[in-house]
Amino acid sequence: MRTADMYLKGIGSVVPPVFPVERAVADGLYPALEAEVHEYLGVAIAGERPAPDMALEAAQTALKRADIEPAGLSLLLYTNTWHQGPDGWPPQAYLQRHLVGGRVPAMSVRQGCNGMFDALELAACYLRAEPERESALLVTADNYGTPLIDRWRIAPGMIAGDAAAAVVVTKTPGFARLLSVTSVGAPECEEMHRSGEPMFPPTVTEGRPQDFIARFEHHRGNRPYGVLTQLPALMLELVETAVSEAGIGIEDVARVAFETHSRDVVEQRVMAPLGLDMAKSTWDFGRRIGHCGGADQFLAFEHLLATAGLAPGDHLLLLGQAPGVVLSAAVVQVLDTPDWAR
């Protein structure tokens, strides 16, 4: 979807203290062989800090940088990949109470690690629908430090970090322009994220841990892997659509922010097929904090702005993959270096 009339006016994050991988290996939490192969340096760990509390802080930072009054927002979208608090309780209500008030519509977006991409698309459509709607706040947060998931083996080649990120999308100029956002599904692959487990009763209600690695192994042993062979072509098709709708070519992309996998996955699944050098990826940042759910690409974006990794005129390609399977992409162009990053 072309979104040339949409802008990013504020961005904020919370990244907790980092736990070094070498210490995790010494403590027996993470196999030394995997540490060597995947090349992570650390993982952000929030301890007992609730994800919605981190979301609130990230949102406050984003709104302050955008110079927008919280109650003046037209929409709040909240996305996450892991449990946020008591079951049945909506975390977006926490931000309504402590930040934006009850007159700002607040909704949850469930699309796994690609939730922020869907939130971008939904926010753009929502703001376009009525002239008086001016701005939307998009927030994502997760804390994986719970008994039913092992952050050190969340998926093959992936360790899970805790973090929050928030972005303010507006119809008035900001530090960056959102040029396009798009997604494509490969539902033929959905079974691999549930393989070997019943759909009812739900995993968490029986106190069973989430184990994507076990599900992948079960799927590999019981189903042909042919359906997965379509994903590389779909990724290339997705990127071609995203950059075309943005009015640029892949050669115009200054940096690529993909979700944080091992170096080999980022290089072989994304950068090499696109004909881009790994130096254009945000892997070197991501390897220091782990895969932080839906926040990865926006944490990297903020980091690039703060470290002069992007300059006015530069284009950033954001990419993600989520269970379903869903592939998502967005293109933003930096218009100005925000004051907080100078």
Please tell me the distance from the alpha carbon of residue 50 to that of residue 63, in angstroms, as a whole number: 20
Return d(Cα 161, Cα 177) in angstroms, integer.
Answer: 28
User: Count of residues for the chain?
Assistant: 342
DSSP code at position 341: G
Q: What is the pLDDT of residue 226?
A: 63
Question: What local confidence, expressed as pLDDT, does residue 266 receive?
Answer: 96
170 and 183: one domain?
no
Question: Is residue 130 assigned to a domain?
Answer: yes
| Cα(275)–Cα(292) distance, integer angstroms | 26
Question: Can you read off the two tokens belonging to residue 251?
Answer: 């050669």
Same domain for 184 and 155: no
**127 and 246: one domain?**
no
| Residue-level pLDDT at 174 | 97
Residue type, 53: D
| pLDDT tens sequence for the chain (342 residues) | 999 799 999 999 999 999 999 999 999 999 999 999 999 999 999 999 999 999 999 999 999 999 999 999 999 999 999 999 999 999 999 999 999 999 999 999 999 999 999 999 999 999 999 999 999 999 999 999 999 999 999 988 999 999 999 999 999 999 999 999 999 998 988 988 898 899 999 998 999 999 888 888 888 888 766 667 788 899 999 999 999 999 999 999 999 999 999 999 999 999 999 999 999 999 999 999 999 999 999 999 999 999 999 999 999 999 999 998 999 999 999 999 999 998
User: 315-322 and 42-44 as β-strands: parallel, antiparallel, unpaired?
Assistant: unpaired
Q: What pLDDT is attached to residue 216?
A: 86
Q: Tell me, yes or no, whether 138 lies in a domain.
A: yes
Domain count, the chain: 2
For residue 112, the SS3 value is helix
The pLDDT of residue 291 is 98
Q: How far apart are CA 63 and CA 151, in angstroms?
A: 30
Residues 158 and 248 in one domain: no
Does 144 lie in the same domain as 44?
A: yes
Query: What per-residue confidence (pLDDT) applies to 225?
Result: 60
Q: Is residue 15 assigned to a domain?
A: yes
Instruction: Check which CATH number belongs to the domain holding 307 and give it.
Output: 3.40.47.10
**170 and 184: one domain?**
no
* 185 and 155 part of one domain: no
Instruction: Give me the domain span that covers residue 252.
Output: 179-189+227-336
Tell me phi and psi for residue 279, to 5 degrees. -65, -20
Specify whether 144 is located in the same domain as 239.
Answer: no
Please give the Cα distance from 234 to 237 (Å, whole number). 5
The per-residue pLDDT for 95 is: 98
The reply to whether 205 falls in a domain is no
